[in-house]
Amino acid sequence: MNTDQTSQRPLLSVRHLSAAYGRIEAISDIHLEIGQGQIVTVIGPNGAGKSTTLAALMGLLPIRGGECQVLFDGEDLAGRDIEQHVARGMALVPETRALFAQMSVQDNLVLGGFRLRGQSRAARQAALEEVYGLFPRLKERARQEAGTLSGGERQMLALGRALMGQPRLLMLDEPSLGLAPLIVRDIFRIIVQLRERGVSILLVEQNARAALKVADYAYVLELGRVAMQGPARELAHDPRVVEAYLGAAGRHQELLST
């Protein structure tokens, strides 16, 4: 396992994950692991298969091949539908940040808490207050229509909505995409806070520098395959990673993210 908590079994353990769009294979034979309370990042260029990996893990895309395993807390979810993934505590915040534009911020959050339906009103209220604690700006805008939020606020709402389901594993697809530097910093700060609260995180990012800074472990995806992996701190100094992902363009990204 890829942590120092070797005695614990990983929260997510994936073997032989492949998925295709029609006849075009987008990801091939991916293996990855996420330890309890870890931030694991998947970095890589455009089209490498990062979003596809998340979709396949979440049950949104059919998985190829009979040997695939998606063990979540020891239970194999390969081939199960998205509801079953959500019910067990997996949540995905997609890149598109799709929200119910005409509904208020608060109603969007309440809808995100549908996993909590069986719980008391007080428990649901507590979940809402916890999200507002992380994102005071959403509380200020509780009655505002979601469609009128800024890009950063939309990302916060998308994250907050996923958190309302009290996931054990939160999968984020490029949370920094298109956001101003200060907002990117806020979002990454919140990702770290979530880990401190025990939420495990799978973070897909093109902003490799920012992602490697917060992650415990990292995978580099290229052409649908895992090309490199290792502790994030080590990969951040690997000459191949530095050249391909943290070079001049990476430095520019760092300036934007700090």
Binding site for ligand ATP (CB under 6 A): 21, 24, 26, 44, 46-52, 206
Alpha carbon distance, N-terminus to C-terminus of the chain: 31
Q: Which is nearer to ligand ATP, 113 or 175 (CB)?
A: 175
What whole-number distance in Å separates Cα of residue 64 and Cα of residue 41? 23
Quote the least distance from Cβ 209 to ligand ATP, whole Å: 15
Q: Which is nearer to ligand ATP, 55 or 128 (CB)?
A: 55
Q: Which is nearer to ligand ATP, 44 or 165 (CB)?
A: 44
| Region for residue 89 given its phi and psi (left: phi exceeds 0; alpha: psi -120 to 50; beta: otherwise) | left
Quote the least distance from Cβ 176 to ligand ATP, whole Å: 12
Q: What's phi and psi for 155, nearest 5 deg?
A: -65, -40
Sign of CA dihedral 10, 16, 19, 24: positive
Q: Where are the beta strands (DSSP E) in 98-224?
A: 169-173, 200-205, 217-222
- Which tokens is 6 given? 């070797």
Sign of CA dihedral 86, 91, 95, 99: positive
Quote the least distance from Cβ 57 to ligand ATP, whole Å: 12
Quote the least distance from Cβ 47 to ligand ATP, whole Å: 4
Strand order in the sheet with 90-93: 90-93, 169-173, 200-205, 39-43, 217-222, 225-231
Q: Which is nearer to ligand ATP, 50 or 141 (CB)?
A: 50
Q: Which is nearer to ligand ATP, 167 or 224 (CB)?
A: 224
Quote the least distance from Cβ 97 to ligand ATP, whole Å: 14
Please answer whether residues 173 and 43 qualify as being in contact, where contact means their C-beta atoms are separated by less than 8 angstroms: no
Q: What's phi and psi for 49, nearest 5 deg?
A: 110, 15
Q: Which is nearer to ligand ATP, 44 or 175 (CB)?
A: 44
